[in-house]
């Protein structure tokens, strides 16, 4: 079988502002019907990347291809309106003087009956079948956003670029709309590049996540892999709270009050950071020091005193001050436990869930 051509492919895209590289040598590919998320903190270059692909901004270097065809490089440039790329941005603007139907039909060419059928189909799918004759100002914010989605999808773009398109919606509305949006886009085999700074949104929506920092992609892969095999401490921290335990390597092992940890490939005598998420710390609630059903993966129990415990709904977040060095560790526990400040408990690290990185200065 011949290798499939990516719907969208960008190679070595870069952009400077005032001598500062804000997009630095970015490459990625999105297949038809797939969703890739650009995920990263504010200012890391996500929107700039999207704007270059859309063609509303010109890159300093790099190539954008759609279905294998170059649409912009150092010399040639297909104008934005001819790229068959749909755009959905946070600050979407509907045309106030057009009805909902008029808005959705705006970019559609062809016979009227066909256009009307397409508009009706999409308004039904986004749950606005009865609002066709309404004007934007008669709709709620969420309804307007759904109109904007229908409008962006209507011309069947080959690629959809979405920049935080759901951030204005309340949580419950958002879950429904983003699932429905992705269903529609997948049905139409559109390649989607979605920008967000929320890890939950990225994991929920993306087949592939490109984690960005300072204009670069630092890691790319399926959500499962990025979450479970992060490249560095910041990549762990981007997805959850973290605890960091400093250790020193002696003969490929690091000894800590929580037991020893493997540190393969790290030079003898150098410092490492053992990083663990709060949900992977085990707490002994019953039997002081013997641990809750310890497995071979659990390290040695160490004692800590509860400083704060916060009830968070499905779980509780507990902060401990550790006896051995006074450091603070955070652990999440099932919501049936809410230990009182001052209580001493024993903590263990799930060694299979620890990440060991060379220590950061
Ligand atoms: N037209 C411009 N002129 C100068 N600097 C710009 C311009 N557009 C963006 N920048 C800068 O480039 C960097 C990247 O901006 P960009 O909008 O791509 O970030 P972002 O990742 O989308 O952030 P956010 O999550 O806040 O939207 C920022 O530091 C921004 O200030
Ligand atoms: Mg942005």
Tell whether 224 and 313 lie within a shared domain. Answer: no
Residue 43 Cβ inside 6 Å of ligand 1? The answer reads: yes
Residue 196 Cβ inside 6 Å of ligand 1? The answer reads: no
Total domains present in the chain: 2
Report the nearest-CA residue for atom 17 of ligand 1: 47
Ligand 1 centroid to Cα of residue 21, in Å, is: 11
- Say which residue, 99 or 298, is predicted with more confidence: 99
321 lies in some domain: yes
Q: Which atom of ligand 1 is nearest to the CA of 40?
A: 21
Provide the residue range defining the domain that includes 250: 241-358
2 lies in some domain: no
Tell whether 203 and 263 lie within a shared domain. Answer: no
Ligand 2 centroid to Cα of residue 228, in Å, is: 26
- Say which residue, 104 or 294, is predicted with more confidence: 104
Listed residues 202, 237, 272: the one ending a domain: 237
Ligand of minimum distance to the alpha carbon of 213:
1
3 lies in some domain: no
Does the pTM surpass 0.85? The reply is yes
For residues 103-117, average pLDDT: 91
What are the angstrom distances between the C-alpha of 31 and each of 35, 67, 169, 310, 349? 8, 9, 28, 43, 40
- The 10s digit of each residue's pLDDT in 48-65 is 999 999 998 999 999 999
Report the nearest-CA residue for atom 7 of ligand 1: 17
Ligand 1 centroid to Cα of residue 26, in Å, is: 15
Tell whether 124 and 259 lie within a shared domain. Answer: no
Output the average pLDDT for the chain: 90
- Say which residue, 23 or 268, is predicted with more confidence: 23
Instruction: Give the domain CATH number at 20.
Output: 3.40.50.300
- The 10s digit of each residue's pLDDT in 258-287 is 988 888 888 888 999 999 999 999 887 765
- The 10s digit of each residue's pLDDT in 304-327 is 999 999 998 888 999 999 999 999
Question: What pLDDT sits at residue 203?
Answer: 94
Tell whether 191 and 302 lie within a shared domain. Answer: no
As a whole-number percent, the residues of the chain with pLDDT over 90 amount to: 63
From 13, 20, 22, the mutation candidate for ligand 1 (largest count of ligand atoms within 8 A of CB) is 22
Instruction: Give the domain CATH number at 351.
Output: 2.40.50.140
Tell whether 290 and 206 lie within a shared domain. Answer: no
Residue 46 Cβ inside 6 Å of ligand 1? The answer reads: yes
For residues 143-148, average pLDDT: 89
Ligand 1 centroid to Cα of residue 22, in Å, is: 7
Report the nearest-CA residue for atom 30 of ligand 1: 43
Token pair listed for 213: 């920092």
Distance (Å, whole) CA 108 – CA 154: 7
Question: What pLDDT sits at residue 135?
Answer: 96
Report the 10 Å Cβ neighbour count for 306. 19
Residues pairing with 28 in the sheet:
10
- The 10s digit of each residue's pLDDT in 213-236 is 999 999 999 999 999 999 999 999
* Long-range Cβ contact pairs of 285-288 (< 8 A, separation 24 or more): 285/337, 285/339, 285/345, 288/344, 288/346
């Amino acid at each position: 079988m011949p290798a499939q051509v990516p719907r969208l492919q960008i190679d070595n895209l870069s952009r400077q502002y005032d001598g500062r590289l804000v997009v630095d040598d970015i490459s990625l590919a999105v297949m038809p019907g797939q969703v890739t998320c650009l995920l990263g903190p504010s200012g890391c270059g996500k929107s700039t990347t999207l704007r270059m692909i859309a063609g509303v901004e010109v890159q300093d270097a790099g190539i954008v291809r759609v279905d294998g065809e170059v649409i912009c490089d150092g010399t040639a440039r297909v104008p934005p309106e001819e790229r068959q790329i749909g755009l959905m941005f946070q600050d979407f603007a509907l045309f106030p003087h057009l009805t909902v139907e008029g808005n959705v039909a705006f970019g559609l060419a062809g016979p009227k009956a066909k256009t009307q059928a397409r508009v009706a189909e999409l308004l039904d799918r986004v749950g606005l079948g009865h609002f066709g004759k309404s004007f934007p100002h008669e709709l709620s914010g969420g309804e307007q956003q759904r109109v904007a989605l229908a409008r962006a999808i209507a011309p069947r773009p080959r690629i959809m670029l979405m920049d935080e398109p759901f951030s204005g919606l309340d949580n419950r509305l958002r879950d429904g709309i983003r699932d429905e949006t992705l269903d529609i886009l997948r049905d139409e085999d559109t390649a989607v590049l979605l920008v967000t700074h929320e890890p939950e949104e990225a994991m929920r929506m993306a087949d592939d996540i490109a984690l960005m920092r300072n204009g670069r992609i630092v890691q790319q892969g399926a959500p499962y892999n990025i979450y479970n095999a992060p490249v560095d401490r910041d990549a762990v921290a981007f997805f959850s709270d973290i605890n960091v335990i400093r250790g020193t390597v002696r003969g490929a092992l690091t000894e800590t009050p929580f037991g020893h940890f493997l540190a393969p490939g790290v030079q003898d005598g150098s410092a490492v950071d053992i990083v663990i998420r709060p949900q992977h710390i085990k707490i002994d609630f019953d039997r002081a020091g013997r641990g809750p059903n310890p497995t071979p993966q659990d390290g040695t129990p160490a004692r800590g005193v509860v400083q704060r415990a916060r009830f968070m709904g499905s779980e509780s977040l507990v902060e401990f001050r550790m006896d051995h060095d006074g450091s603070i560790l955070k652990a999440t526990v099932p919501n049936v436990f809410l230990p009182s400040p001052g209580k001493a408990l024993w903590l263990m690290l799930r060694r299979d869930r620890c990440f060991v990185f060379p220590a950061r200065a």
